[in-house]
Amino acid sequence: MPPAERQHLLGTQDSPLRQVYTGDMGGFSELPVIRKDPADLSVTPNLADYAATRADFTWETAESWLDGLPDGGFNIAYEAVDRHVTAGRGDHVALRCLDKAGAVTDVTYAHLQTETNAFANALRSLGISPGQRVFSLVGRVPALYTAVLGTLKARSVFAPLFSAFGPEPVKQRVVIGGGVAIVTTTALYRKKIAPVRDEMPTLAHVILLDDGPADDIPGAIRFEELMAGQSREFPIEPTGREEMALLHFTSGTTGTPKAAVHVHGAVVAHYATGHFALDLHPDDIYWCTADPGWVTGTSYGIISPLTHGLTMIVDEGEFDARRWYRTLAEQRVTVWYTAPTAIRMLMRAGPDVAAEYDLSSVRFVASVGEPLNPEAVVWGREVLGLTIHDNWWQTETGGIMIANYASADVFPGSMGRPMPGIIAGILQRGEEGRAAAGPDGHVVELGPGEVGELALRVGWPSMFRGYLDADDRYRKCFVDGWYRTGDLAQRDENGYYWFVGRADDVIKTAGHLIGPFEVESVLMEHPAVAEAGVIGVPDPMMGERIKAFVSLKPGTTTDPAVLRKELTAHARRRLGPAVAPREIAFSENLPKTRSGKIMRRLLRARELGLPEGDLSTLEGGDK
């Protein structure tokens, strides 16, 4: 770490999470606060003064930053593509696509405009109407972007799937969404769609991106052929803000995935959150590593960056530490949006690999999806020379709600502060462990330092408008004008939010309420630990006792019995005996969703011999 940076690492707090392990067992120092001075930043941040921006902001102002359709309303694809061409930036590269072998194809905004127009015409030529659902089951290839944005232009609804899903998860989702078309490849079709095709009666069209044999595929049509005959003009019809645009399935971390409905008006929030939370500027080279099957892959892997008119890296390859560092270095990426699981994989690969690459172009790094353990933030500073800015949101919120900003101090372990335009609160929980209204019909908001359910005041543009076919479930998400997120958190005296755990995952042990994240973060401070998942196991004395599942860094040779003792001692010292795990099991990999979230419910079900529940999103599961 350069000496100048060291001076920025100041500050002290009381909570155990706010200390950092210094390398010797038992050696701790106060967790560094990463102080920021906007004057030090190479690019003037979009949000320079949090309080002032928040005070001035209205969603009407954010709307005025977009163009709107010439005939009224908002269409996501118009804001993402056409308006840049109208503004004379058609020659700017929108997508820089890297294929698996590393070959580069550039797509300009002008080209993206005509391609998406042709795709919109193509859907109409197939008889697909506004409101009908088009699915995708494909990796990050250029045609995917044409399909997503062309579908939105045609006012049909886009529903992305992970290409790694097996037949069952594909079927479940296409059936829930009533999909009429799917964009895929012949190989993916044969493996994942053919076995369940008969069970998806609405699926009439299969749009194939390659030229493999397809004579036996009902409704097959080649993307190239479909596009060839189409006009490159497509006047977007007036699109209502409340028209359904996207159908996103949640990650399935806590149970069966839900189909969240999003509307075209959400684009106002996609733009504003990219502006404030990711600090996007039109000359940025931006890279979002999320899979297109996950909401992040659409909101921040397609829509938000393109509404800013920047150049986006589209990498078809899967995670590989060297490939990723090379991409950052060679493509001169300036803004990088990734996930804790990826950062922990880079940590596993070790500092020497990072040292081989020049990351000097990167000015802003953000992470989402799971709690970002403080150790990872400290690692980012020390090994990459970069501050990793955690931010928080959900499929249901459609966009970033709580964030660490380029210009603002970062407290490692905190997910930051609410976006301008977003009112967050910590609500008192009722008997079922969720925020509940009291006899007077109102909820109680808790103050700093108190743990409760994280909630958001309803009414931001990208708020989901329903769970498809699950109205009751949707209604239950709201109480007294608040959206209940299902996550527990606390706010500190500076207004920063700290994630405690999902309401379903918190552990009640000997009268304490414990978030798994706190225990996991402490275990990950140990040099041998790569990842940890912590659950509560029923216990006659304590209610629940804490059990940790730990995966080790490669090359760890310490005897497990010794390591277990070390980890127990470390956790007891850091967390106290009541909160330290009573049991530690080593496992090569922890069960995760395809978006990289540890599935604690599955660790628990397996531990207790209970039914495993919905496994459709399990990584490495049903292929």
- Rounded distance between C-alpha atoms, residue 490 and residue 493, angstroms: 10
* 3-state secondary structure at position 63: helix
Residues 541-560 interacting with ligand ATP (rule: CB under 6 A):
none
Nearest CA-CA partner of 458 in 431, 430, 423, 413:
423
Which of ligand ATP, Mg ion, none sits in contact with 392, Cβ below 5 to 8 A by type?
A: ligand ATP
DSSP-assigned states of every residue in 496-531 = -EEEEEETTT-EEETTEEE-HHHHHHHHTTSTTEEE
Which of ligand ATP, Mg ion, none sits in contact with 185, Cβ below 5 to 8 A by type?
A: none
Give whichever of 298 and 568 is closer to ligand ATP, judged by the CB atom: 298
Give whichever of 177 and 369 is closer to ligand ATP, judged by the CB atom: 369
Binding of residue 394 to ligand ATP (CB under 6 A):
yes
* 3-state secondary structure at position 235: coil
AA letter at 298: T
Which of ligand ATP, Mg ion, none sits in contact with 368, Cβ below 5 to 8 A by type?
A: ligand ATP
Nearest CA-CA partner of 18 in 341, 370, 373:
373
- Which residues neighbour 160 within 8 Å (Cβ) at sequence distance 6 or greater? 135, 136, 148, 248, 292, 293, 297, 298
- Rounded distance between C-alpha atoms, residue 75 and residue 396, angstroms: 20
Show the site string, 488-507: x = touches ligand ATP by CB under 6 A, - = not: -----------x--x-----
Binding of residue 616 to ligand ATP (CB under 6 A):
no
Which of ligand ATP, Mg ion, none sits in contact with 415, Cβ below 5 to 8 A by type?
A: ligand ATP
Q: For residues 216 and 202, is the Cβ–Cβ distance under 8 A?
A: no
Give whichever of 77 and 378 is closer to ligand ATP, judged by the CB atom: 378
**Minimum distance from CB of 283 to ligand ATP (Å)?**
27
Nearest CA-CA partner of 389 in 409, 367, 407, 369:
367
- Rounded distance between C-alpha atoms, residue 82 and residue 108, angstroms: 11
Give whichever of 487 and 544 is closer to ligand ATP, judged by the CB atom: 487
**Minimum distance from CB of 398 to Mg ion (Å)?**
13
Show the site string, 277-306: x = touches ligand ATP by CB under 6 A, - = not: ------------------x-----------
Q: Which of 368, 463, 477, 575 binds ligand ATP (CB under 6 A)?
A: 368
Q: Which of 239, 395, 404, 616 binds ligand ATP (CB under 6 A)?
A: 395
Binding of residue 246 to ligand ATP (CB under 6 A):
no
Binding of residue 337 to ligand ATP (CB under 6 A):
no
Residues 255-274 interacting with ligand ATP (rule: CB under 6 A):
255, 257
Pair of tokens at residue 183: 């964009």
Give whichever of 341 and 391 is closer to ligand ATP, judged by the CB atom: 391
Residues in the chain: 623
H or E element in which residue 329 lies: helix 321-330
Q: For residues 126 and 183, is the Cβ–Cβ distance under 8 A?
A: no
Which of ligand ATP, Mg ion, none sits in contact with 114, Cβ below 5 to 8 A by type?
A: none
**Minimum distance from CB of 175 to Mg ion (Å)?**
21
Binding site for ligand ATP (CB under 6 A): 250-255, 257, 295, 368-371, 390-392, 394-395, 415, 485, 487, 499, 502, 595, 597
